[in-house]
Amino acid sequence: MHALVKEEPIARIGISLVDGDAAVRRERQLMLRSESFDVRSYATGAALIADPLARATACLVVDVDMPGLGGIELVQSLRIQGWRGTAILLRSIDVTDSIARDAERDGDTLLLKTVADRPLLEAIRAALAPRLSRREACQ
């Protein structure tokens, strides 16, 4: 007689999502959760900064053009505090400028805010590829 062995669930990879548009934030949060990511969502960068658990996430998806603490400043602040994750920066307009150069230099990705779910997921998976491959190797 074989006993059923219950495997321990592997910890889901954490993503922080920051967007001032509640409908967009909720839709993306549901989509990311359906892909088995552990998502923490925030209406503002200040709300994320106030949450000590946010620094444990591997990826940050953030609107660059938010009023107040914008996405670029938020990423810089988190990195100063020791966060070593990858950022997916969402922007209203598509231009090549210092933001794009800085994002590439830091290993981050810059996408249009209107990006569809599939390309966003592809960008997140590409950014998390080293973590995902280590996780699969441990299985």
How far apart are the two ends of the chain, measured CA to CA in Å?
25
Model pLDDT for residues 51-84, shown as the tens digit of each residue: 988 888 999 999 988 888 888 889 989 989 889 8
Check if the beta carbon of residue 18 is closer than 8 Å to that of residue 62.
yes
- What's the angle, vertex CA 127, arms to CA 126 and CA 133, rounded to 5? 70
Annotate 4-17 with DSSP letters as a single string.
PPPPPPPPPPEEEE
Least confident of 18-27, 58-67, 128-137: 128-137
Amino acid at 89: L
Task: Read off the pLDDT of each residue in 24-38 and give the average, rounded to a whole number.
Answer: 95
* Architecture of the domain defined by 14-137: 3-Layer(aba) Sandwich (3.40)
| Separation of alpha carbons 30 and 93, rounded Å | 25
pLDDT tier for residue 21 given thresholds of 50, 70 and 90:
very high
The count of C-alpha atoms lying within 13 angstroms of the C-alpha of 107, restricted to the half-sphere facing its C-beta, is 13
Task: Read off the pLDDT of each residue in 97-123 and give the average, rounded to a whole number.
Answer: 82
- What's the angle, vertex CA 120, arms to CA 115 and CA 124, rounded to 5? 155
Choose between 124 and 4: higher pLDDT: 124
